A and B are shown apart, each in its own frame.
Chain A
């Protein structure tokens, strides 16, 4: 599985934008870029995903570099509830080549939001 590299931790102030970077230099053409986050004592929660184009949803925006070797998750106005571990994941096809199954999590970025 292709690997991702994220900073161990980042800090932000409430109501300010947060840019969480992710490097994935060995990404393949069929890999989707997914972001999940995990709040304390909860299971991971889907945030956003993309393939080649930038994506926006109600939670965040995903900016994907033109060569797809890096991406940035953007939280437009951080709140205290956004404090979590954020995982950048490359989702690739199964060995059989027909479906996408598992998520391969790394260490993620611990985001601290200050009031």
Chain B
């Protein structure tokens, strides 16, 4: 079956622009997670959804970052007024539910470059 997919795979933008990153989770997975990974670092948690609602958004760095999951499936991470420091690989993951025993399935990521 299909895994987690993310589009675009690469995004180059200019400082100050707005970007949207899309994540298609595995069908039937109720939990969806966003992480970002800078070069040489481990992934850093941003936000996760249980169904349509954000269950934990404590990792969003500031109010320029926002994510939605209106129908409990596809999610979009939105970044306003991008800065060079936002350059990173943005990873999406999904799981059947947010369980201590459950595994998260990761997508290949979107590489964002802010010039």
| A→B interface (CB under 8 Å) | 30, 32, 34, 42-46, 49, 51, 85, 87, 91, 93-95, 99-108
Contacts and interface: CB of A to CB of B under 8 A. Distances in A.
A42 B43 contact: no
B104 interface: yes
B42 A101 contact: no
A105 B103 CA distance: 14
A104 B109 CA distance: 17
A77 to B, nearest CB: 23
A44 B101 contact: no
Contacts of A45: 106
B98 to A, nearest CB: 4
A105 B43 CA distance: 6
B93 A43 contact: yes
Contacts of A44: 43, 91, 93, 104, 106
Nearest first, the 5 A-B pairs at minimum CB distance are A43-B106, A105-B42, A46-B103, A100-B100, A102-B45
A8 B4 CA distance: 29
- Interface residues on chain B, size class: 20 to 34
13 contacts: A32-B100, A42-B108, A43-B91, A91-B100, A94-B55, A101-B48, A102-B33, A102-B45, A102-B48, A103-B35, A103-B43, A105-B35, A107-B42
Q: Which of A42, A91, A102 has the most CB of B within 10 A?
A: A102
Interface of B: 4, 31, 33, 35, 41-45, 48, 50, 55-56, 58-59, 91, 93, 97-109
Nearest to B102: A100
A88 B22 CA distance: 28
A34 B55 CA distance: 21
A91 B59 CA distance: 15
Nearest to A32: B100
Contacts of B100: 30, 32, 51, 91, 93, 100
A94 B106 contact: no
Contacts of A49: 101, 103
A101 B31 contact: yes
A100 B55 contact: no
Nearest to B6: A43
